[in-house]
Chain A
């Protein structure tokens, strides 16, 4: 039973690390600001979730588990909010989405009045 938990924990940690890696890659390679935020924000939330889940399965004491769950809750609250704040600040500062080469502006489906 415990080896099964360990395997599951290993799998979670690996998936989390892989997602973090893809996030970093996306942050470096994506053409415009919003795509980069997307790469960071989405993978960060999911990857942190996986890493914390992996650690949760690995620990066998109640106190660290409670703390990990609290950290997970905090990340689930704060990380998307931080991404949102960045994106909103960028929009207010006049940053607009660009095309794949990062040169031209993309025409938006609808513009705010």
Chain B
């Protein structure tokens, strides 16, 4: 697996065409996902498969559709300094790993610090089977709040950078796209069959996150990929009619707000920020309610931000074609 990863990375460097390197990025994402599965990190693998192999190559493809598929010829002399910098940084990173305890060693800090408490007591304190979710959503809720805000900020930044001047948001594609090619009939029929199941699966991942691998991040990405697939096959105006861009932009903020408000609610109930035991009479029930609420917030925020970014990119493509 590692050999395949390294081979893909080298091919990624060697290949010149941007299209081919995007495909290799996707392959790399899929390989990392299977690598995470063999390391028993199924939740991470889920995210990596959805983001690394699915959504991010798609956004890169949209970018290439805008800027063209050829890499600009680079000056060989100017490459020396970056190469030196990368080599030094890489060497430092490798030296850094030498000090790390070997994988799975029982006296590693990861195994002795807080992990035993999470593993042994989360069943009593949080009461859900998937420890990853309880760590992510309850013990480490601050970190996850930070991640959601990072994603939200990324969405806002993409809007600021890509939205044409004079427009309020990502995509306001009013005129229907010129149909210069025959419609993708077979693709449309098959995707019509599959997209409902994709969205259903996203909801399953969202609300099953406490019991199995999954949660808001994965569900949001899967939901967004379903919508993006629809947009790719039926055109931007159609998907903008189904889910209007202003709604998505508001939803991105609403998702982040749900998360923050859950924290404020527990604050108002007299406990710490994001301490969900305050949300119900029984602390464990409170934890359940809190986790479901913030996972919902995460899911809405992630899905909305990814769809917003897609709208922004695709809207750029549209305005360029006209």
List of B residues within 8 angstroms of A74 by Cβ? 194
List of B residues within 8 angstroms of A81 by Cβ? 186-187, 190
Given A77-B193, A77-B194, A78-B194, A92 and B187 touching (CB < 8 A)? no
Number of interface residues of B (CB under 8 A): 7
Q: Is residue A85 contacting chain B, with contact meaning CB distance below 8 A?
A: yes
> In whole angstroms, how far apart are the Cα atoms of A65 and B184 in the complex?
34
List of A residues within 8 angstroms of B193 by Cβ? 77
> In whole angstroms, how far apart are the Cα atoms of A77 and B187 in the complex?
10
> In whole angstroms, how far apart are the Cα atoms of A77 and B195 in the complex?
12
Q: Contact flags (1/0) for B151-195 with A, using CB distance below 8 Å?
A: 000000000000000000000000000000100101100100110
Q: Is residue A88 contacting chain B, with contact meaning CB distance below 8 A?
A: yes
Given A77-B193, A78-B194, A81-B190, A92 and B184 touching (CB < 8 A)? no
B49 CB, min distance to chain A CBs, angstroms:
14
A88 engages B184 (CB within 8 Å) = yes
A85 engages B184 (CB within 8 Å) = yes
List of A residues within 8 angstroms of B187 by Cβ? 81, 84-85
Please provide the chain A residues from 68 to 97 with a CB less than 8 Å away from any CB of chain B in the complex: 74, 77-78, 81, 84-85, 88, 92
A6 CB, min distance to chain B CBs, angstroms:
25
- Whose C-beta in chain B lies nearest to the C-beta of A81? B190
> In whole angstroms, how far apart are the Cα atoms of A81 and B181 in the complex?
18
> In whole angstroms, how far apart are the Cα atoms of A92 and B179 in the complex?
14
Contact residue among B181, B186, B190, B194 (Cβ-Cβ distance under 8 Å from A92): B181
B289 CB, min distance to chain A CBs, angstroms:
29
List of B residues within 8 angstroms of A92 by Cβ? 181
B126 CB, min distance to chain A CBs, angstroms:
25
A77 engages B190 (CB within 8 Å) = yes
- Whose C-beta in chain A lies nearest to the C-beta of B194? A77
B194 engages A84 (CB within 8 Å) = no
A39 CB, min distance to chain B CBs, angstroms:
18
> In whole angstroms, how far apart are the Cα atoms of A88 and B184 in the complex?
9
> In whole angstroms, how far apart are the Cα atoms of A78 and B193 in the complex?
11
List of A residues within 8 angstroms of B186 by Cβ? 81, 84
A89 CB, min distance to chain B CBs, angstroms:
9
- Whose C-beta in chain A lies nearest to the C-beta of B180? A92
B27 CB, min distance to chain A CBs, angstroms:
14
A29 CB, min distance to chain B CBs, angstroms:
20
- Whose C-beta in chain B lies nearest to the C-beta of A88? B184
> In whole angstroms, how far apart are the Cα atoms of A81 and B190 in the complex?
7
- Whose C-beta in chain B lies nearest to the C-beta of A74? B194
Q: Contact flags (1/0) for A89-107 with B, using CB distance below 8 Å?
A: 0001000000000000000
B17 CB, min distance to chain A CBs, angstroms:
14
List of B residues within 8 angstroms of A85 by Cβ? 184, 187
B61 CB, min distance to chain A CBs, angstroms:
12
A85 CB, min distance to chain B CBs, angstroms:
6
B248 CB, min distance to chain A CBs, angstroms:
26
B94 CB, min distance to chain A CBs, angstroms:
34
> In whole angstroms, how far apart are the Cα atoms of A92 and B184 in the complex?
11
Residues of A within 8 A of B (CB): 74, 77-78, 81, 84-85, 88, 92
Top 10 closest A-B pairs, CB basis?
A81-B190, A84-B186, A85-B187, A77-B190, A92-B181, A77-B194, A81-B187, A81-B186, A77-B193, A78-B194
**What are 15 of the A-B contact pairs (CB < 8 Å)?**
A74-B194, A77-B190, A77-B193, A77-B194, A78-B190, A78-B194, A81-B186, A81-B187, A81-B190, A84-B186, A84-B187, A85-B184, A85-B187, A88-B184, A92-B181
